[in-house]
Amino acid sequence: MSETMTMAKALNAGLRRALEADPKVLLAGEDIGQLGGVFRITEHLQRDFGPERVVDSPLAESGIVGTALGMALRGYRPVVEIQFDGFVYPAFDQIVSQVSRMRFRSMGRLSVPMVIRIPSGGGIGAIEHHSESPEAYFAHTPGLVVVAPSTPLDAYWMIQQAVASDDPVIFFEPKRRYHEKGEVDLTAPPLPLDAARVVLEGSDVTLITYGPMVKTCVEAALAASAEGRSVEVIDLRSLSPLDDATLRASVEKTGRAVVVHEAVRSGGLGGEIAGRLQEDCFYSLEAPVLRVTGYDMPYPPSRVEKNYLPDLDRILDAVDRSLAH
């Protein structure tokens, strides 16, 4: 059974299903209850499940995450919302010093089944601290699972898989894709949470991306096909762990790779992916692994964010440079 819905509605439906399936699941965050969240992802959930399971928290990200950690250790499965990506930093110490380390610290005796939802990325014309891409901080941290859906279908299933995980999951939601629609199969088995997806198959070059840039890369691949170039597009879906096998199989086929993300270039996930492909696919590569990213600067004012974000032209230029080798 399939339904057409926006990513926002798919996330809401996935959270609803998780709440229905397990009485130990609860939600917490700033304005997620009566308001339904800034982006209405949790709309009507407090009405239907009550204020003890859908909790309007104080404006204190460290407190939200710290409380959720304690509840996870007591057998609950909390799902907390960080209202905007740039607000996660007050909770950074809790996440990297406590949440991520608990299983290792206890030699596997304790688990932390909690989800931290983070609306992320730019493209919505927001003010400072509302358009960040902090995923590399968390992908760098052992003990955290880091994922990023790009479609309503993935959003619906991945949020349920994240809630069911016994490890802490950082769940990045591409906020500028919240209102884009797609088909959601409510019954077909989903991909594993840690699996990448081949969105488009091709033979000349591989585009590797995730989250908000998947749609842009598909548009670039279709534009390239009009010029006789066959571009494969891979949606990582999981940023930690990475699905190395899928990446390796694609690059061994095409011999070329371009990694695309909104986050800054230096220290970004693209460098890690390029390094792994260099090690694993050295004899298959026909060109250096290239990166198309945000610039090494704070996210700019909304008037000029279109010049900061990778776009079709920048991606196609990288494809041309790769094929020129």
Using DSSP, state whether 322 is helix, strand or coil. helix
Q: How far apart are CA 48 and CA 50, in angstroms?
A: 6
Other Cβ atoms within 10 Å of 246 Cβ, number:
18
- 């601290």: which residue's tokens? 129
205 vs 197: CA distance, rounded Å: 16
SS3 category, 197: strand
Angle at CA 93, nearest 5°, toward 87 and 96? 105
Active-site residue identified among 130, 179, 261, 325: 130
Active site residue 130: yes
Q: Contact 249/264 with Cβ under 8 angstroms?
A: no
Q: What is the dihedral of CA 129, 309, 181, 231, to 10 degrees?
A: -150
How is the chain split among helix, strand and coil, in percent rounded to 5?
40, 20, 40
- Cα separation, 299 vs 24, whole angstroms: 38
CB-based contact 204:231 (threshold 8 Å): yes
Catalytic residues: 130
